[in-house]
Amino acid sequence: MRKISLLGGLLLLVVGAVLTWRRLHPPLTDEQQIAAALDGITAAANARSPRGIADYLAKDFQFGTTSKSEFQNSLVGGILQYRVVDLKLAGTQTEVNGETASSQGRYVLSLKSEFTSPPEVFAGKFALQWRKTEGQWLVTGAQGDQTPR
């Protein structure tokens, strides 16, 4: 009898803790999920991780006429060429429309071939198209302009 009471008390404690955690940590809105994905893309770029960036791309991703696999290959080549990658996004605005969304903003990309070399800096506007797939927001399309500074 004592074991049953102890197990029942332990079960109530676990259920109470889970319910309290859920109440204090509500699920992210779609806009917040997309903002978190943009932070993840930025972190992956700064960590020089082409695979990390690709994790946020849908299977049918297109950058202009470039497919996902071609884009991944160019990321690998670019990251091998540069020792320091610093991507910053600003002024990002996201509009969600059901299971699709769009984001636009500005970026600054600073690249160094060596730690002590002067950076090559590119800045411009970007636009991304998103689709919610199995609960995760993935980029389906990207456009951007680039202007060397």
Q: What is the pLDDT of residues 20-71, one digit of tens each?
A: 656 665 688 999 999 999 999 999 999 999 999 999 999 999 998 899 999 9
Torsions phi, psi for 32 (to 5 deg): -70, -35
d(CA 34, CA 23) in angstroms, rounded, equals 22
Question: Residue 125 in 3-state DSSP?
Answer: strand
Other CB atoms closer than 10 Å to residue 103's CB: what's the count? Answer: 23
Query: For residue range 91-131, what is the model confidence (pLDDT) as tens digits?
Result: 999 999 999 999 999 999 999 998 888 999 999 999 999 99
54 forms beta bridges with none
- Tell me the CA distances in angstroms from 34 to 9, 19, 31, 86, 91, one per residue in order: 40, 26, 5, 20, 14
